[in-house]
Structure 1
Amino acid sequence: MSISSINARNQFRGRIKEIIEGPVVSEVDIETPAGLVTSVITTRSVHDLELRVGSEVIAFVKATEVSVAKL
């Protein structure tokens, strides 16, 4: 499954590896073929979407800025 109105490069299909739930926001770690993607979403959305470890999901990435620092 993919969403055709969004560029395919911005979609990563994967499975939820871990959910770190907070009172307002939660971190959702998604294991994808490209690597681990972490999303910070509201805890309410985690419950509304019934997200669970092992759920198959699509991570959509929208970045307006990427910072780089030299090591």
Structure 2
Amino acid sequence: MRISARNQISGTIVDVIKGATTSHVRVDIGDGTIITASITNAAVDDLGLKTGGKATVVIKASDVMIAVD
């Protein structure tokens, strides 16, 4: 697979929680650091995502914001 996004992090799926239309997929990227993605249930099924499977997290953000009190 070739993709223009530079932020690609490999990891292991630790959880797939399906809702009515959207799933939360939690990926351990090492040292217990978890990244969570919200994707459609159809995408989970199409990709065959399952706990224990390998996955690459791809991050493509137009905006990054930081706020403080």
TM-score, length of structure 2 as denominator length: 0.84
Q: Which residue of 1 aligns with 2:66?
A: 68
Matched letter for residue 8 of structure 2? Q
Report the CA distance shift for 1:70/1:39 in structure 2 as closer, same or farther (over 3 A): same
Output aligned runs, 1:7-46, within 5 Å: 7-8=5-6, 10-33=7-30, 35-46=33-44
| Fraction of identical pairs, as percent | 29
Q: Which has the bigger relative contact order, CA under 8 A and spacing at least 6?
A: 2
Listed one character per residue, the Cα deviations across residues 12-50 of structure 1 (whole Å, up to 9, x for unaligned) are 000001111012111100000372111110001101111
Report the CA distance shift for 1:5/1:42 in structure 2 as closer, same or farther (over 3 A): closer
Matched letter for residue 28 of structure 1? V
Q: CA deviation at 1:5?
A: 3.9
TM-score, length of structure 1 as denominator length: 0.82
Gaps of 5+ in 1: none
